[in-house]
Amino acid sequence: MILGLLVTNLAIAKKIELSFDSNLVVISGETGAGKTIIMNAIGIACGANASQELIRTGEKSALIEVSFTLNNTPKAIGILQRLSLYDKEEMLIISRLISKNRTRNTINGHLILSKELKEVGRTLVDLHGQYEAQSLLDVNNHIKLLDKFGGRGMSEIREKVVAEISRFNEIKNTLTELEDTDRKYKEERDFINFEISELEGANLIEGEEEELREEEKILSNAKELSDLLKMSQDLINNDEGTSIFKLFSLLRNNIEKATEITEKIKYISDSIEKMQTELKEINRDISNFNMSIIYDPERLIYIEDRLALISKLKMKYRKSILELIEYLRQLKDKVSSFNSVTDKIDNLKKEEDKLLKMIGFDALELSLKRKEVAEQFRERVISELRDLAMENADFKVDFEAVGDNEGVLIDGKKVKLFSDGIDSVQFIIKTNPGDDFKPLTSIASGGEISRVML
């Protein structure tokens, strides 16, 4: 239960001091009397945001103190014990000092963090404001209300700017993804280019390894092979009577003589003739092959180096020659995709630059239109407030262009792009002469909010 409240220099209140008892307490008064300030002060004491704008005009700080009894508050006591703030006292005093630089929070004189204060506060009170659901208190709605007041002329250029910014954000998101992909590509691009260079330089050909190994055998054993082939030729055909060819001739002569006795063995003579013909072809083939054997030490060194390179690549990549040829094709395809990403990035950046210039022109036009409409809006609101017994109130629309290095260039400065232009808009008001303009949500009472809403 709340026992007492002390407020100094909050909003328009210089000092408020109240005591409460255990029964129902009703606070009544005219619009602007300070009822909302009391409710806001209790909320701030229990952890709500404490804006510097709440400090009374001309003062350096604002103070809020609320005292509670801890009877029947087991949740609050449990949290206080966990935070080492419970000393078995039945009364709890929360104090918040709001200054230009910082906010100082204490419970029974002990400094605490804002999040700890909020944790304790939500167990002590349950606040329900009279205008919690009013859209007017949502600053994001202020620009929408202003644009709606501007009518069709405003909506046409607004829709154009919204569409341009939507496309711009879409391009930015796509560029972020592509540039992230491109960064990953760059990390492996040098390595891939090295592999391509290595495999292209090797100029691998299907079946080459088998052919080279066969040629290596021949060149490595050229003399032995040539001697064997020469000996084979001598066996087939030499000047001595022991050559195979001469023996075949004798064999054929004998069979032909036998054929004169019986024709039944003529087929044997024909077979021998055919074998002699084949033997001549064999002898010619051996001779030709033997003549082709030329021992070339430089060629042998080239083959050995080439086979060593092929073996090295096969071992390094753990692939066969066919697989290496396919792998090279895949690497080239990957580089093509790298280049495709780079081209997309370049094209999107060109579109982004072009669109940003267009947005700068159109968003500035929209901003100027809004400021023109804001004056008309101000006059209408002030006129209505006069009719609702707020003769001293003044109202205006506050415009702010937020700096942003990645924003759009307006009059030589980079400003932030919102979804609907470059303007951060807020309704500000002062309800009493001599006060400074402050945000509508900071200083207006519930009754005043209701009148502005009307």
DSSP for 153-187 reads HHHHHHHHHHHHHHHHHHHHHHHHHHHHHHHHHHH
CATH for the stretch 2-129:
3.40.50.300
Domain limits, CATH 1.20.1050, in the chain: 140-183+341-453
User: Would you say residue 134 has pLDDT above 60?
Assistant: no
Q: Which fold has domain 140-183+341-453?
A: Glutathione S-transferase Yfyf (Class Pi); Chain A, domain 2 (1.20.1050)
315's CB contacts (< 8 A; 6+ apart) are: none
Q: Which of 399, 353, 348 is nearest to 142 (CA)?
A: 399
Q: Which 3 state secondary structure label does DSSP give 2?
A: strand
Query: If you average pLDDT over every residue of the chain, what do you get?
Result: 85
| Higher-pLDDT residue of 187, 110 | 110
Q: Which of 16, 187, 39 is nearest to 127 (CA)?
A: 39
* pLDDT (mean) for 36-48: 87
* pLDDT (mean) for 218-243: 79
Q: Which of 85, 147, 159, 158 is nearest to 116 (CA)?
A: 85
Domain limits, CATH 3.40.50.300, in the chain: 2-129
What's the rounded Cα separation, in Å, for the pair 374 and 143? 10
pLDDT tier, 326 (very low <50, low <70, confident <90, very high otherwise): very high
User: Would you say residue 132 has pLDDT above 60?
Assistant: no
